[in-house]
Amino acid sequence: MQTNTKEKKRRRWGDRNDGRLVRSLPPMSKIEPFIMVTRNDACNSFTDEFEVSAAEKYIREKRAAGLTNFGMLHLLIAAYARVCALRPGVNRFISGQRTYSRSEVEVNFCVKKELAIDSPDSVLSVLISPDATADEVYRIMDAEIEKTKNEDTSFDATAAAFDRLPRLFKKFVFWFIRVLDYFGLLPRFLTRLSPFHGSMFITSMASLGLPPIYHHIYNFGNVPVFIAFGVTQKRLDPRRDGAFEEKRVMKYSVVMDERICDGYYFAAAFRTLNVLIRNPAMLDKRPEQVLSDID
């Protein structure tokens, strides 16, 4: 049970450079990674929706206040970071058949340099403090996106370097990377630029005019959650008096690694996310406390 305010924990034997080993899990949780060895073995998925009238009003206010490009992606990432502050169990990951907890929120997402079919994708990874406000999240993301428009990301450059290797040597290199990652020996600069390592991956189908997809989570790396959200739609809901009320809703889908926490905990986390989207002004202030994960 998480009850204490988050504090910097001293690194101990068994910890990784991107996460702290969770030592007090019940026995069943400790053996699950040996039964369900890969993330694909352990992935669950669901679809839900947000009522976004308040969120859309909030986005318009942010843009009017000078955050020109503020959108649903920024809001969802800010809300997810806040969920990690209040429900830190969702910020765990499985690596080397062990469970680790992150102290910061690492979010990965794709951007296109131009809105054109033949424009290449770039993958960005941003590091966010769990107590960050929506404005802070926007500035972090906007700076990274602007940089990507003018130059290749570190991941793009690294991928290009790997691509120049002969095929068999390339296969050996990735096998060796997996071995290092299994034992927590992969250098931090590699896990920082890798889109396959992090707290979550998020993608917008709304910009393509599509509903959300169920995107697989990767066995490579350690990202435990993949969120996709789609276009906003109008819907008529019946009221108790027999009349109909128009609502604006946005569907989203989640694919997650069930080994990091139980279903009850996941449900509580995504209920919190729903509350934040319906009340986005909560993200303008820092939380009263940031909870630590269990030891």
User: Domains of the chain: which residue ranges?
Assistant: 20-198+256-284
Structurally, what CATH architecture does the domain formed by 20-198+256-284 represent?
2-Layer Sandwich (3.30)
Tell me if 133 sits within 8 A of 290, measured CB to CB: no
pLDDT at 215: 95
pLDDT at 1: 47
pLDDT at 96: 97
Residue 65 carries which side chain, given as an amino acid letter? A
Instruction: Spell out the alpha helix ranges (H) of the chain.
Output: 27-35, 53-64, 72-86, 134-150, 154-163, 167-182, 188-193, 263-278
d(CA 98, CA 64): 46
**Pick from 88, 125, 97, 106: which is nearest to 7 by CA?**
88
Is 117 buried (19+), middle (13-18) or exposed (0-12) by CB count in 10 A? exposed
Q: How are the residues of the chain apportioned to helix, strand and coil, as percentages rounded to the nearest 5?
A: 40, 25, 35
Note the pTM of the prediction, 2 decimals: 0.92
d(CA 219, CA 259): 13
DSSP 8-class letter at 132: -
**Pick from 234, 229, 257: which is nearest to 246 by CA?**
234
Residues lower than pLDDT 70 in the chain: 1-8, 113-120, 150, 152
Q: Within 10 Å of residue 251's Cβ, how many Cβ atoms?
A: 18
pLDDT at 118: 65
